[in-house]
Amino acid sequence: MKNEVNGLKGIGTFPAFPVVLVTVRNNIITVAALDFFSFEPPMMGVGICPDRFSYELIKEDQDFGINIPTKDMIESVEFCGLNSGRDVDKFNATGLTPMEPTIIKSKLITECPVNLECKVVKELYLSSEFSATHDWFIGRVVTAHVDGSYEKTQALVYWAKKYRTVSDVFSTTKI
């Protein structure tokens, strides 16, 4: 039995999106507003609310790192989502170790098994166009660093205030 609800309640029904730590300059922000935009060239985008500290940084620096955390990093993920880089140095506060990028200027995070270096190629100012909550920064993934022992079931996914993980694979597509 279905009920008709407003669109926002509909969005809340999604199971989960990958939650990542986005690094901009020396700051860290927890982001589930993340998506792939193109396989080739590889492009990823992040949605950031205009009032966030990282928002001005990404507009100025035009690059960002996407760092995939593991389940055992949940406390740092929570911390970076609840605190502002205006008030605290999040690398210091969490004990996470800055990692030097190869191409971009933003630091990466050593403890994350995957780090993607992204250069902004397109900005979507949905806040001014539609009074939307998020603006989007779409980046080209210029290089990546991957720990070969990383298993996807160690990663965190998140939606509607709830952290989960993903199950083992139960089906593989034929294509």
Q: Which of 13, 60, 87, 128 binds a second copy (CB under 8 A)?
A: 13
Peptide bond into 41 cis (omega under 30): yes
Cα separation, 88 vs 22, whole angstroms: 16
Interaction residues for a second copy, span 16-75 (CB under 8 A): 16-18, 33-45, 47, 68, 71, 74
- For the bound state, the minimum distance from the C-beta of residue 27 to a second copy, rounded and expressed in Å, comes to 18
Of the two residues 10 and 95, which places its CB atom closer to a second copy in the complex?
10
Listed residue (81, 76, 70) closest to 33, CA to CA: 81
Site membership for a second copy, residue 78 (CB under 8 A): yes
Of the two residues 1 and 86, which places its CB atom closer to a second copy in the complex?
1
Cα separation, 171 vs 12, whole angstroms: 25
C-beta separation of 37 from 47 below 8 A: no
Interaction residues for a second copy, span 85-144 (CB under 8 A): 102, 113-117, 121-122, 124, 126, 129-134, 136, 138, 140-144
Give the count of beta carbons closer than 10 Å to the beta carbon of residue 36. 11
